[in-house]
């Protein structure tokens, strides 16, 4: 079995079967960099990250592209009253649009890193792909799929595209009825959408064209052009939030399919909203939270990742002080149970599972991505192991059962709440501490909670401990985990000899203080 995901286009849960053997190509709608990303946006990016990790876990390479919208054009025609948001922000912050975009782009990378999102291999910027967009618009006009209006705008003619509405389930006549009285008067059909807009007075970001004077691209053409540039005319997975289904992805399909004959992606996966105070978290509504604010309030940003995992991606999830607090507490209890099992041995069967190799993206671009950096995935030949079916250590029957249930949950359209429940069972199971620890660390390759940090944190906090003191402390916590209390007592005596007094507290925690060598 492999990963199965709900496909908005077919409305079925379908296995991901890559077009190219062993290699999945995925496109995710990325950030608009005239404002900060909020944790609602991060929920969408976490969905793509989870898909990527699940596929990697199955031994499939994933080539991931996530666009950066730095054009500053309007994302929704309903709001198009001629104002330019990038210009607005530029006025507010007395910076150039490029400076504003660069600053928000850097913040976006930092936010993604804070919740352990594997960086995409390419973060193409819209402003650097205007030529690709123009070429596509020209082709659409030449084929009669689009037209130039008397106001100098180029519109896509939805009536000429038979599949319009298939993704969103919208009916063209209903759409037309909904548009009655709309402000744009230069469209042939009220449901037509803009591919290229004529730049009016005062528009800061504008580009010359061969055929239509100066203007700027529509939002949807951005993703059609950039996905085709990096992933080809047909790729495997396209992700976004549910608000991307219509009009954004519906229009992407119409544009691309008018040129190639089929939708650009096979599998369209959409994540439900994160809510705050009962409504979609949104910057415009003022009900939003940044991941940095969460950290300032004293939470580990990974508590948000944990919160996202407690719900299936297709369900709405509530964000509140209470829900994030509960997630932080649950993550902490998971960590302390794991810590009690002691650190993994450096080698042998029960050494920590080797990390997923996310491909040659290498370092997260610091601040600003250099165009198609990290493309190396293509050239690097490495074989990934299918960890779902080929577990390295010899698991017991009980271990195999737990491992199998974790994999089934992930494969079942990313049932992360069940996967988390299985992880808790792994910690409690009557298996050796080695096996329990291995199972949990292995599951965490998909969950991405950095659970192996529990031991790194201990050694970092223990600065000032001598290496032999630390070694004995770790040995002792492993002995306690396997309930070998005579050994733990012997080690306590040895530690005292070395000047460390060790105390076991209620709840399983162990503390120590320096008392000087005996």
Look at residue 388 and give the partner it binds from ligand AMP, Zn ion, none, a contact being a CB closer than 5 to 8 Å depending on partner kind: none
Q: Is 244 helix (H, G, I), strand (E, B) or coil?
A: helix
Q: How far is the CB of 282 from ligand AMP (least distance, A)?
A: 6
Look at residue 223 and give the partner it binds from ligand AMP, Zn ion, none, a contact being a CB closer than 5 to 8 Å depending on partner kind: Zn ion
Asked if residue 43 lies in contact with residue 282, where contact means CB atoms within 8 angstroms, the answer is: no
# residues near ligand AMP by CB under 6 A: 17
Look at residue 324 and give the partner it binds from Zn ion, ligand AMP, none, a contact being a CB closer than 5 to 8 Å depending on partner kind: none
Separation between Cα atoms, residue 361 and residue 112, nearest integer Å: 15
Q: How far is the CB of 31 from ligand AMP (least distance, A)?
A: 5
Asked if residue 152 lies in contact with residue 198, where contact means CB atoms within 8 angstroms, the answer is: yes
Q: Is 66 helix (H, G, I), strand (E, B) or coil?
A: strand
Residue 280, interface with ligand AMP (CB under 6 A)? yes
- Interacting span for ligand AMP (CB under 6 A) from 114-122, 188-196, 277-285, 417-425: 277-285
Look at residue 358 and give the partner it binds from Zn ion, ligand AMP, none, a contact being a CB closer than 5 to 8 Å depending on partner kind: none
Nearer to Zn ion, 105 or 435 (CB): 105
- Provide the mask over 216-245, with x wherever binding to ligand AMP is found by CB under 6 A and - wherever it is not: ------------------------xx-xx-
Asked if residue 418 lies in contact with residue 323, where contact means CB atoms within 8 angstroms, the answer is: no
Q: Which of 29, 194, 205, 302 binds Zn ion (CB under 5 A)?
A: 29
User: Among residues 156, 136, 137, 138, which one has the least CA distance to residue 146?
Assistant: 156
Q: Give kind and range of the element (H or E) at residue 425.
A: helix 416-428
Nearer to Zn ion, 29 or 427 (CB): 29
Q: How far is the CB of 273 from ligand AMP (least distance, A)?
A: 4
* CA–CA distances in Å: residue 280 to residues 248, 287, 308: 18, 8, 15
Separation between Cα atoms, residue 395 and residue 392, nearest integer Å: 8
**CA–CA–CA angle 341, 346, 352 (5° rounding):** 60
- Interacting span for ligand AMP (CB under 6 A) from 203-211, 276-284, 368-376, 461-469: 276-284
Separation between Cα atoms, residue 403 and residue 506, nearest integer Å: 31
Beta bridge partners of 504: 510
Q: Which of 223, 228, 420, 446 binds Zn ion (CB under 5 A)?
A: 223
Nearer to Zn ion, 230 or 304 (CB): 230
Look-up of token digits 């991901």 = 16
Binding site for ligand AMP (CB under 6 A): 29, 31-32, 40-41, 43-44, 240-241, 243-244, 271, 273-274, 280-282
Binding site for Zn ion (CB under 5 A): 29, 223
């Amino acid at each position: 079995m492999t990963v199965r995901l709900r496909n908005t286009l077919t409305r079925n849960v379908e296995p991901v079967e890559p077009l190219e053997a062993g290699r999945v190509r995925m496109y995710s709608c990325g950030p608009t960099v005239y404002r900060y990303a909020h944790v609602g946006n991060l929920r969408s990016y976490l969905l793509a990250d989870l898909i990527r990790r699940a596929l990697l876990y199955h031994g499939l390479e994933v080539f991931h592209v996530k666009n950066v919208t730095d054009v500053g054009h309007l994302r929704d025609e309903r709001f198009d009253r001629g104002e330019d948001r990038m210009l607005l922000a530029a006025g507010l912050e007395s910076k150039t649009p490029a400076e504003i975009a660069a600053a928000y782009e850097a913040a976006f990378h930092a936010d993604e890193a804070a919740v352990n999102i594997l960086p995409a291999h390419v973060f193409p910027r819209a402003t650097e792909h205007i030529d690709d967009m123009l070429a596509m618009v020209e082709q659409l006009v030449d084929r009669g799929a689009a037209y130039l209006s008397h106001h100098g705008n180029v519109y896509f003619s939805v009536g000429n595209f038979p599949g319009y509405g298939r993704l969103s389930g919208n009916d063209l006549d209903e759409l037309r009825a909904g548009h009655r009285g709309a402000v744009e008067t230069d469209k042939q059909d009220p449901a037509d959408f803009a591919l290229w807009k004529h730049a009016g007075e005062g528009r800061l970001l504008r580009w010359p064209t061969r055929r239509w004077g100066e203007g700027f691209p529509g939002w949807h053409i951005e993703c059609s052009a950039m996905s085709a540039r990096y992933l080809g005319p047909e790729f495997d997975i396209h992700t976004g939030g549910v608000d991307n289904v219509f009009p954004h992805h519906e229009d992407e399909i119409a544009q691309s399919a008018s040129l190639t004959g089929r939708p650009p992606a096979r599998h369209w996966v959409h994540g439900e909203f994160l809510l705050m105070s009962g409504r979609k978290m949104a910057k415009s509504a003022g009900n939003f939270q940044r991941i940095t604010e969460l950290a300032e309030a004293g939470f580990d940003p990974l508590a948000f990742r944990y919160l996202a995992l407690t719900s299936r991606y297709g369900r709405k999830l509530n964000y509140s002080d209470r829900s994030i607090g509960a997630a932080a507490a649950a993550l902490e209890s998971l960590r302390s149970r794991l810590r009690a099992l002691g650190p993994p041995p450096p080698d042998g069967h029960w050494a920590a599972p080797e990390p997923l190799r996310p491909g040659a993206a290498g370092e997260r671009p610091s601040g600003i991505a250099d165009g198609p950096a990290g493309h190396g995935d293509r050239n690097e030949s490495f074989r990934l192991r299918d960890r779902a079916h080929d577990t390295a250590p010899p698991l017991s029957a009980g271990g195999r059962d737990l491992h199998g249930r974790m994999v089934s949950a992930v494969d079942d359209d990313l049932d992360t709440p069940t996967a988390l429940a299985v992880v808790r069972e792994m910690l409690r199971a009557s298996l050796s501490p080695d096996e329990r620890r291995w199972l949990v660390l292995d599951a965490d390759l998909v969950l991405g909670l950095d659970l192996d940090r529990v031991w790194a944190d201990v050694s970092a906090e223990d600065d000032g401990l001598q290496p032999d003191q630390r070694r004995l402390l770790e040995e002792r916590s492993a002995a306690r985990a396997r309930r070998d209390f005579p050994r733990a007592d012997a080690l306590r005596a040895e530690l005292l000899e070395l000047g460390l007094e060790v105390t076991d507290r209620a709840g399983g925690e162990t503390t120590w203080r320096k008392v000087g060598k005996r």
